[in-house]
Each structure stands twice: as C-alpha cells, then as structure tokens.
C-alpha cells in the first residue's frame, strides 16, 4: 500500500547563511518494497551543525556533500512500518541517516535497532552522533585523567553538554562556555559543571583564569573565536586540545586567525582534529558506555523540539544563532 | 694544578635581538677536584636556536632560564684532563651541557662518554641535541610511513637537515624549505632531498604544491611564518605536524597569527609540540639509531665552525639571520 509523504530536497548551496531558498519541499509516494527492504516512518529527526558542511561541495570534507536535488541528509529515529527483511521486524525502532523526510526505504545498512525502554529524545540526545562525538573526542582523543581540568566551548550544545557530563563522571573539574546566562545556569545547576562562563560577557579571559586556578589540561573545542584564544593562553604543559567544531567560523567567508604556535612547543601541546566517520566501528562500544552513564543517572539531557518536517528549514539556524536550548530536533 | 681560563656569563636578558651587552667575559681559575669530580677541557661548543629561550625568564618554558650572573648554557664536547672519578678516565671524550666556557668541573651527571672513531664535528652535528631532536620529532612523534611526503622548514638547519636525511633513509618523499638558493642546492645535490624551495622567492605556495603533487602527510615545523601557512593548506587527511621550532617568531615582540583551525577538523590533523628534556631517557637508543645511519653513509653533515669562545657572542646571531651554512659550533 503506497503512502503519500513530504520530503525536503537540497536544491541550492549556501553562500554564508542557510536560507529557505536552498530547499524544495516535495510530495512523494512510497514504492513497493523489494526483498530485504524496510519502510521507516521517521518520528524524530536530528538537526546538527555538521549539516551546513554537508551542503557544501568541498574536496577537503570528510564525507561527500549532499548532491543538489537529493533529499537533505539527517540522522533520525523511526519506526519500521513495513518489512521484507526478517532481521528488521515491523514495530521495531531504528536509528540512522534517514534524511529530511517523513518516510524512507532502506535495506537496513547503517541502521541500528534500538533497545526498548529508552525514550526517543534520549536516543537523539545521548546515544546518537552528538553523544558518540563527545565520547570519542573526550575519552579516545583527549584521554583525560581524574583531577585534570577541562574547558568545553559550546558547552550547552548537543556535543558540549555531553562532554562536560562525561568529564564530571570521570572525575574532572569542568568549565563550560556558552552564549547566554540562562545556558550557563543550566550547565552549573542542571548538569553539575563546576563553572560556566558567558563568553559574550566582559572579562572572558579573567573569568576563565579565575575558574581554572590550576590551569587547563584539556580543551574541547566546539566554537573557535574568542574562547579559543583565551583558553589557549591557559593551557598547561602536556595539554591536549580536541578540535571538534568551529561553529563561530562556519558561516563566515573569512575565518578568524588561530593562535601563534610558539606555545605548542613550550607547553608540548597536542592539538587533534577528529570526525566521527573515521570511528563508526567504535559506535557499538561507545553506545554501551553512554547507556551505562545514562542508566546511572550521570547524564542528563535537554531536547529543543520543533514540530513538523518543514520546521527544519528555518529551525536549523537556531544552531548558528545560539537560539536553541538543548539538542535541536524535529518531531514529525 | 690550577688553570686560568675564559668563560662567558649571561648578565642581561634580551628584549628582542641578542646583543654583546648581554654577556660578560670573565677569567676564572679551575678549583681543586673533589672525589667523584672531573675537569673537562671543552674542544667544541654547540650554538643552537634554543639558547635564546634559555636567556628568557618565562614560566611556560620547558627548562629554567639561565640565571643572570651564571655561565651561559650550551651543549659541547670536551676531553677529560683531570679525574677523581674512576668511571670517567683522563683522555676520554664526553658530551653534555658544558656551557660557554673553556673548562668545566663536573661529577659526570648528564655527560655521555663518546665512542672513539667518530669525529667531534659529527658528534655535534649528528649525535647531539639537534640530531636527537630530529629523530624524536620525526620517528616518535610523526611516525612516518614509507611513501609519505614530508615538508621540512628550516631544512638547512642543524635539526632540519637531519630530519630530511632520516626521512629519505625511511623511504619518504622529502621537500625542504630554506632561505637561500645555495642552501637549497645543498639540500638537493648534497643531501638528496627530492625538492628544496627558497621561501624568500616568489610563488612559494605554487612551488610547494608543484613539489608535492600528492599533498603533504607530514610537516616538520622549524620556522613558522609564510612556510607554515603554505604547507598547512596542502596537508592531507590524517596529516601530522611536529612543531619543533618557530625561529621566524622568536625575535619578534608580536608573534604572527597561526592558521584557522577548521582544516584541523576537516583533515583530522594532529599538531604536536615537543621538546627534548621530556625525552632524555630515550637518548641512548636514539644515539644508536643515528650512529647506524651515520655508519651506513645515510647521514651527511656540514659544520659551520667559529673559532675561539668569544666568537659565540656575535656568532649566535647567524642562527637568526640565516647566515650559517651548517650546524653552528665554536672550536675552542
């Protein structure tokens, strides 16, 4: 039985900001399934900063861009509503790259079946790409030791809020930066960060130094900009910087200058970039580790939920304006 | 029997450049040796870019600065001329931090006895700190694989010329940058580099790109400046940058900006600073490895020898003007 549904295609590439004319809303009809295929009805779709990179043709990017005319790429969770695949029964929940669409046909490749009992919002907040990114960057790249001090920029974001909570669970002193006082209050009072600093307030460098009297051992970089320079000056010898995002520079044509490299020598720093497609093989193990934190009550999460597929078109910009208050997602 | 000798003390700290008024030439007399001590007559003293850092009080530096009024620090080779230490017989050659002095008393700590048959200039060029630094940075930090492409800045310097030759011995494609055509010719014709580029000539970025058609996997950073930015743009995915020196910025009050960090994410780069005092325990093994290259004829060296202790005072600036043609040292 074919079903009519809505999907959103990418039809133009962004110059700087993401505008509605980049997208085309289309109505499609589900096809007859072939053997091995399933039909997924998406219930929640994730909106992530990486999406802007996926819209751009860039030979240096870590995954190919979305082709013009294709349905825009996104992670999400859905329910299997038809199945010709015995490993993927009707009624099961799956997670994976479903796309900006209400329905999708798949042969199951790249999809994970979800256990029962974990709310879908928790899946997208904790067990999806942002949580895996946080775990990989902090634990496998940064290799933190109990007692060390970490600064997390973009700490109220989907990745940053997970990084800080994992770091607390691992016995670190955790300082976050965010762009509003309300976010900072949530970090300290809601998530148990030791300190949170509004990077838009005066005296960022002084406040950071006061919050980190023993210096900074680890810096989890999500933003770039003024926070990067202020934290760089506070790094301790043998410090490690995990470079995950540079959201303050993604929407500019002239990215800001980085710090001079002399302190990299003097302090024997390691600065390391990482992206998740290099580490997909570790996801099952990382999901187990994150589920354990979740069950132990060590990880809280906050969803910022939009409603209806088309709300993504304007809503994605909340990520770049800092207007979201929690992991941004669309409930379909 | 006491001997009168010359030594040079640091009496003032540099503001930018190293000037003669920073030093005081003094005449001293060797003391009576105590049990366990030796008297060393220095024959060759090394002059190295790191010395400028040793002159500066800087809480971030990796070793304490030379105190004002103390004899200036330097590595060197000397002959034991008196000994009350049975492990260190008269006539043996030793290498270590002897200082800007004709004679020094030591209990042997931190000194290495040298094997016979290796010329003293080879010791300072290949088996001393610059060679160890080259080996540590390339092999232990960079972890090169045969077939990869490396760019070495400051390639005609004491560290860079060793890095390039070890890299050739390990099967890499090696591109060097240097500041004169004569140095570039020495790199390609004398040392077997695949390409060498005068960074002061026009079209640095274009020339680098043409020399590295498959991109750059490893960058051994000795200089900073324009070469840093040009190479950074050519780095391949999973590239590694070993940050050893930033000589173009050491003598300026306002160090130049580094590159923006977005490519660190996209290309999953690792940028790592290192300094030798963290790795002194590895020196015996690294000396063996470098001696092997030397015996196999895989490492050539070129000394730029000044004469007389006091020639160091003006001569050290050759390192910062690029005027030296080989490992700078003083024959006493």
Q: How far apart are CA B289 and CA B313, in angstroms?
A: 33
Nearest CA in chain A to B59: A266
- Across the interface, whether the CB atoms of B249 and A260 are under 8 A apart is answered yes
Within 8 A of B266 by CB-CB distance, chain A residues are 58, 60-62, 273, 275
Q: Which of B60, B261, B275 sits opposite A221 (nearest CB)?
A: B261
Within 8 A of A250 by CB-CB distance, chain B residues are 262
Spell out the residues 6+ positions from residue B85 whose beta carbon is closer than 8 angstroms to its own: B36, B37, B38, B107, B108
Within 8 A of B209 by CB-CB distance, chain A residues are none
The reply to whether B286 falls in a domain is no
Q: How far apart are CA B161 and CA B286, in angstroms?
A: 17
Cβ atoms within 10 Å, residue B185? 14
Q: Do A133 and A271 have their domain in common? A: yes
B159, B180 contact by CB (below 8 A)? no
What pLDDT does B26 receive? 97
Q: How far apart are CA B113 and CA A150, in angstroms?
A: 44
Phi, psi dihedral angles at B34 (to 5 degrees): -95, 170
Q: Which of B224, B260, B272 sits opposite A257 (nearest CB)?
A: B260
Q: Do A109 and A36 have their domain in common? A: yes
Separation in Å, CA of A276 to nearest CA in chain B: 10
To test the contact with chain B by mutation, choose from A65, A133, A271 the residue with the greatest count of B C-beta atoms within 10 A, namely: A271
Q: Which of B243, B263, B269 sits opposite A261 (nearest CB)?
A: B243
- Across the interface, whether the CB atoms of B260 and A275 are under 8 A apart is answered no
pLDDT more than 90, % of chain A: 78
Q: How far apart are CA A178 and CA A199, in angstroms?
A: 6
Q: Do B140 and B70 have their domain in common? A: no
Task: Provide the chain A residues 98-117 that lie in CB contact (below 8 A) with chain B.
Answer: none
Per-residue pLDDT averaged across A267-280, rounded? 94
Where would I find the H helices in chain B? 50-54, 120-122, 129-135, 160-169, 181-185, 204-211, 225-232, 247-250, 262-266, 283-295, 311-315, 318-321
Spell out the residues 6+ positions from residue A261 whose beta carbon is closer than 8 angstroms to its own: B221, B224, B228, B243, B246, B258, B271, B273
Q: Do B177 and B80 have their domain in common? A: no
Q: Based on the number of CB atoms within 10 Å of its own CB, is A320 exposed (0-12), middle (13-18) or buried (19 or more)?
A: middle
pLDDT digits (tens, 9 = 90+) for A123-141: 999 988 889 999 999 999 9
Nearest CA in chain B to A278: B268
- Across the interface, whether the CB atoms of B260 and A62 are under 8 A apart is answered no
- Across the interface, whether the CB atoms of A272 and B249 are under 8 A apart is answered no
Per-residue pLDDT averaged across A25-43, rounded? 97
Nearest CA in chain B to A261: B258
The reply to whether A187 falls in a domain is yes
A239, A218 contact by CB (below 8 A)? yes
Residue B20: give its domain's CATH number.
3.90.180.10
Q: What is the ipTM of this complex?
A: 0.82
- Across the interface, whether the CB atoms of A257 and B261 are under 8 A apart is answered no
What pLDDT does A169 receive? 97
Per-residue pLDDT averaged across A62-66, rounded? 84
Q: How far apart are CA B47 and CA B216, in angstroms?
A: 31
Separation in Å, CA of A236 to nearest CA in chain B: 8
Question: Any CB–CB contact under 8 A between B260 and chain A?
Answer: yes
Residue A13 confidence (pLDDT) above 90: yes
What pLDDT does A60 receive? 60
The per-residue pLDDT of chain A, averaged, comes to 93
Q: Do B247 and B306 have their domain in common? A: no
To test the contact with chain A by mutation, choose from B257, B260, B269, B274 the residue with the greatest count of A C-beta atoms within 10 A, namely: B260
Within 8 A of A61 by CB-CB distance, chain B residues are 266
Spell out the residues 6+ positions from residue B102 whose beta carbon is closer than 8 angstroms to its own: B5, B6, B7, B41, B42, B309, B332
Q: How far apart are CA B161 and CA A254, in angstroms?
A: 36
To test the contact with chain A by mutation, choose from B57, B256, B262 the residue with the greatest count of A C-beta atoms within 10 A, namely: B262
Per-residue pLDDT averaged across A290-302, rounded? 89
Q: Give the bridge partners for B328, in sequence order.
A: B304
- Across the interface, whether the CB atoms of B261 and A60 are under 8 A apart is answered no
Q: Do B315 and B186 have their domain in common? A: no
Q: Do B241 and B326 have their domain in common? A: no
Question: Any CB–CB contact under 8 A between A296 and chain B?
Answer: no
Q: Which two tokens stand for residue B220?
A: 């051994």
The reply to whether B49 falls in a domain is yes
- Across the interface, whether the CB atoms of B271 and A275 are under 8 A apart is answered no
Q: Do B59 and B179 have their domain in common? A: no
Angle between helices B283-295 and B160-169 (to 10 degrees): 70
Separation in Å, CA of B276 to nearest CA in chain A: 10
Residue B140: strand, helix, or coil? helix
What pLDDT does A280 receive? 87
Within 8 A of A255 by CB-CB distance, chain B residues are 260, 262
The reply to whether A119 falls in a domain is no
Q: Do A326 and A243 have their domain in common? A: no
- Across the interface, whether the CB atoms of A268 and B278 are under 8 A apart is answered yes
Per-residue pLDDT averaged across A52-74, rounded? 86
Q: Which of A259, A264, A275 sits opposite B265 (nearest CB)?
A: A275
Residue B155: give its domain's CATH number.
3.40.50.720
- Tens-level pLDDT at each residue, chain B (332 residues): 789 999 999 999 998 889 999 999 999 999 999 999 999 999 999 999 889 989 988 756 667 899 999 999 999 999 999 999 999 999 999 999 999 999 999 999 889 888 777 889 999 999 888 899 999 999 999 999 999 999 999 999 889 999 999 999 999 999 999 999 999 999 999 999 999 999 999 999 999 999 999 999 999 999 999 999 999 999 999 999 999 998 888 777 788 899 999 999 999 999 999 999 899 889 888 988 998 898 888 999 889 999 999 999 999 999 988 888 888 999 99
Q: Give the bridge partners for B196, in sequence order.
A: B176
Question: Any CB–CB contact under 8 A between B256 and chain A?
Answer: yes
Nearest to A132 by CA among B265, A141, B271: A141
Question: Any CB–CB contact under 8 A between B272 and chain A?
Answer: yes
Question: Any CB–CB contact under 8 A between B263 and chain A?
Answer: yes
The reply to whether B38 falls in a domain is yes
Q: Do A273 and A143 have their domain in common? A: yes
Q: Do A138 and A182 have their domain in common? A: yes
The reply to whether A110 falls in a domain is yes
Question: Any CB–CB contact under 8 A between B298 and chain A?
Answer: no
Chain A and chain B share a number of CB contacts under 8 A equal to 123
Least confident of A6-20, A171-185, B191-205, B315-329: B315-329
- Across the interface, whether the CB atoms of A275 and B266 are under 8 A apart is answered yes
* Radius of gyration for the alpha carbons in chain B, expressed in angstroms and rounded: 20
Q: Do A90 and A134 have their domain in common? A: no
pLDDT digits (tens, 9 = 90+) for A235-269: 999 999 999 998 888 777 788 899 999 999 999 99
What pLDDT does B110 receive? 85
Nearest to A331 by CA among A302, A313, A304: A304
The reply to whether B287 falls in a domain is no
Q: How many domains does one find in chain B? A: 2
Question: Any CB–CB contact under 8 A between B269 and chain A?
Answer: yes
Q: Give the bridge partners for B220, in sequence order.
A: B152, B242
Residue A104: strand, helix, or coil? strand
Separation in Å, CA of A264 to nearest CA in chain B: 5
The reply to whether A122 falls in a domain is no
Half-sphere exposure of residue B318, counting CA atoms within 13 Å on the CB side?
22
Cβ atoms within 10 Å, residue B183? 24
- Where in the sequence is the domain holding B311, given as residue range(s)? 4-114+302-331
Residue B259: strand, helix, or coil? coil
- Within chain B, how many helices (H) and strands (E) appear? 12, 15
- Across the interface, whether the CB atoms of A228 and B278 are under 8 A apart is answered no
- Across the interface, whether the CB atoms of B264 and A255 are under 8 A apart is answered no
């Amino acid at each position: 039985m074919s079903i009519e549904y809505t999907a959103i295609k990418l039809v133009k590439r962004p110059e700087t900001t993401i505008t509605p004319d980049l997208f085309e809303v289309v109505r499609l009809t589900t096809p007859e399934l072939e053997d091995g295929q399933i039909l997924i009805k998406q219930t929640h779709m994730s909106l992530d900063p990486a999406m802007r990179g996926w819209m751009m043709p860039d030979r240096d990017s870590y995954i190919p861009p979305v082709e013009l005319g294709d349905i825009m790429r996104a992670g999400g969770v859905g329910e299997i509503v038809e199945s010709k695949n015995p490993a993927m029964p009707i009624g099961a929940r799956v997670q994976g790259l479903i796309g900006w669409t209400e329905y999708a046909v798949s042969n199951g490749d790249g999809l994970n079946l979800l256990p029962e009992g974990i709310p879908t919002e928790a899946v997208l907040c904790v067990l999806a790409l942002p949580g895996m990114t946080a775990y990989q960057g902090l634990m496998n790249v940064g290799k933190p030791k109990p007692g060390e001090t970490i600064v997390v920029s973009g700490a109220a974001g989907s990745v940053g809020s997970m990084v800080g909570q994992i770091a607390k669970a691992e016995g670190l002193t955790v300082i976050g930066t965010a762009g509003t006082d309300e976010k900072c209050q949530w970090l300290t009072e809601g998530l148990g960060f030791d300190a949170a600093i509004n990077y838009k307030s005066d005296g960022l460098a002084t406040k950071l130094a006061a919050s980190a009297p023993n210096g900074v051992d680890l810096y989890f970089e999500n933003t770039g900009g003024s926070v990067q320079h202020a934290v760089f000056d506070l790094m301790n010898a043998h410090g490690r910087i995990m470079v995950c995002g540079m959201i303050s520079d993604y929407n500019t044509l002239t990215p800001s200058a980085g710090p001079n490299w002399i302190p990299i020598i003097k302090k024997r720093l390691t600065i390391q970039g990482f992206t998740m497609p290099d580490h997909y093989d570790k996801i099952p193990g990382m999901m187990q580790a994150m589920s354990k934190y979740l069950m132990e009550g060590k990880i809280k999460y906050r969803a910022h939920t939009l409603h209806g597929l088309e709300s993504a078109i304007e809503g994605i910009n909340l990520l770049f304006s800092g207007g979201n208050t929690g992991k941004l997602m669309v409930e379909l």
